[in-house]
Chain A
Amino acid sequence: MIYRVDVFSKTKESCPKIASQIKDLGIDKDCKVYCNKVYFIDSELSTELIHKIAADLLIDPIIEDYSLAQGLFTQLPSYNRILITYNPGVCDSVSLSLEKILKSLLLSVKSTRTAKFYEFTGLDKNDIGYLAPKILYNPLIEYVLDYEKAKGLKNLDEFSGKDYKFDLVTVDMLNLNPKELIEISINRCLSLSADEMQIIQEYFKKLKRNPTDCELETIATLWSEHCAHKTFRGVIEYEERDKNNKLIKKETIDNLLKNTVMKATKEINSPHCVSVFEDNSGVVRFNDDYNICFKVETHNHPSSLEPYGGASTGIGGVIRDILGTGCAARPFASVDIFCFSPWGIDYKDLPKGLLHPARIIKGVIKGVRDYGNRMGIPTVAGAVCFDERFLGNPLVYCGTLGILPKNKSFKKSKPGQLVILCGAKTGRDGIHGATFSSKELDEHTVSLTSAVQIGNPIEEKKLTEAILRARDANLFTAITDCGAGGISSAITELAQGHGVEVELDKVSLKYRGLNYTEIWISESQERMVFFTDKKNLKKLKQIFEEEDVTFSVVGRVTDTKKLILSYEANRVCELDLDFIFNLPKLKKAAVWVKKEESDCKLEEKSNYNKELNKVLSSPNIACKDWILREYDHEVQAGSVIKSIYGISEAAVNDASVVRPDLSDKRCVSIGLGINPFYSDIDPYWMAAAAIDEALRNVVAGGAKLDKTFILDNFSWGSPGNPEILGGLVRAAKACYDFSTYFGTPFISGKDSLYNEYMVGKKHISIPGTLLISAVSVIDDWSKTMTSNFKKSGHLLYIVGFTKPELGASEYFRGLGIKEGLVPKVDKNKAKNIFLRLSKAIGAGLIHSCHDLSEGGLGVALSEMCLSSNLGANIFLAEVPKEPGMLDYEVLFSESTSRFVVEVEKDKSEDFKKTMADSALGLIGCISSERKLIIYNAGNKEIINTNIDTLKESWTQTFKEFR
Chain B
Amino acid sequence: MKPKVLVIRTAGTNCDKETEFAFSSAGANTTLRHINYIKQKDELSDYQIICIPGGFSYGDDLGAGKILALEFICWFKNSLKKFVAQGGLILGICNGFQVLVKTGILPDLDFKQKVTLTNNDSGRFEDRWVYLKIRNQKSEIRNQKREIESVWLEGLPEVFNLPVAHGEGKFYAERSILDKIEVSGQVALRYVDQNSQPKGYPFNPNGSLNNIAGITDASGRILGLMPHPERCIFRHHSPFWKEREVYPWGLKFFANAISYFK
Contacts and interface: CB of A to CB of B under 8 A. Distances in A.
Interface stretch (B80-88, B125-133, B215-223): B125-133
Interface in A93-138: 93-94, 96-98, 100-101, 104-105
Interface in B5-19: 11-15, 17-18
A461 B237 contact: no
A376 B55 contact: yes
Given A373-B125, A458-B56, A648-B203, A61 B62 contact: no
Contacts of B243: 786, 788, 790, 868
Contact of B165 (A96, A457, A632, A640): A632
B228 A634 contact: yes
Given A60-B66, A629-B128, A790-B242, A375 B116 contact: no
Given A62-B116, A647-B128, A647-B131, A662 B59 contact: no
Task: Determine the main DSSP class of B at the interface with A.
Answer: mixed
A904 to B, nearest CB: 14
Given A632-B125, A786-B242, A374 B59 contact: yes
Interface string A222-259: 00000000000000000000000000000000000000
A633 interface: yes
A632 B128 contact: no
B172 A62 contact: yes
Interface residues of A, number: 60
A621 interface: no
B58 A97 contact: yes
Nearest to B243: A790
B262 to A, nearest CB: 24
Contacts of A548: 11, 36
A646 B62 CA distance: 33
B242 to A, nearest CB: 5
Given A458-B59, A546-B36, A17 B123 contact: yes
Contact of B127 (A57, A61, A629): A629
A17 B234 CA distance: 40
Given A62-B173, A376-B55, A647-B128, A640 B236 contact: yes
Contact of A57 (B62, B173, B237): B62
Instruction: Count chain B CB atoms within 10 A of each CB in A637, A784, A868 and give the residue with the most.
Output: A637
Contacts, number: 158
A789 to B, nearest CB: 9
A637 B62 contact: no
A268 interface: no
A369 B203 CA distance: 22
A354 B221 CA distance: 56
A230 B54 CA distance: 45
B48 to A, nearest CB: 23
B163 interface: yes
Interface string A790-802: 1000000000000
B156 interface: no
Contact of B14 (A17, A376, A630, A647): A376
Contact of B236 (A369, A545, A639, A785): A639
B233 interface: yes
B261 interface: no
Contact of B231 (A56, A634, A641, A645): A634
A788 B240 CA distance: 10
Interface in B104-128: 113-116, 118, 123-128
Contacts of B236: 639-641, 659, 781-782, 784
A383 interface: no
A642 interface: yes
A58 interface: yes
A462 interface: yes
Nearest to B116: A62
Nearest to A848: B242
Interface in A50-64: 56-58, 60-63
Interface string B123-150: 1111111110000000000000000000
B43 interface: no
Instruction: Count chain A CB atoms within 10 A of each CB in B13, B34, B102, B161 and give the residue with the most.
Output: B34
Interface in A442-472: 456-458, 461-462
A900 B34 CA distance: 50
A552 interface: no
Interface in A624-676: 628-637, 639-642, 645-648, 651, 659, 662
A547 interface: yes
Contact of B116 (A60, A637, A648): A60
A374 B12 contact: yes
Interface in A181-240: none
B190 to A, nearest CB: 16
B61 A93 contact: yes
A647 B202 contact: yes
Contacts of B233: 637
A374 B60 CA distance: 9
Contact of B70 (A57, A94, A631): A57
Contacts of A369: 125
Interface in B232-246: 233-234, 236-237, 239, 242-243
26 contacts: A57-B66, A57-B67, A94-B59, A96-B61, A97-B61, A101-B62, A105-B70, A369-B125, A374-B14, A376-B56, A458-B59, A546-B34, A628-B127, A630-B126, A634-B228, A634-B231, A635-B15, A635-B54, A637-B21, A639-B237, A642-B239, A647-B239, A651-B239, A786-B242, A786-B243, A868-B243
Rank and list the top 4 A-B pairs by shortest CB-CB distance, nearest first: A376-B14, A97-B61, A637-B18, A645-B239
Interface of A: 17, 56-58, 60-63, 93-94, 96-98, 100-101, 104-105, 369, 373-376, 456-458, 461-462, 545-548, 628-637, 639-642, 645-648, 651, 659, 662, 781-782, 784-786, 788, 790, 868
Given A374-B59, A634-B237, 20 more contacts: A60-B63, A62-B173, A62-B174, A97-B59, A97-B62, A100-B58, A104-B71, A373-B165, A374-B12, A374-B60, A458-B11, A458-B58, A461-B14, A546-B36, A548-B36, A631-B127, A637-B233, A647-B161, A648-B193, A662-B234
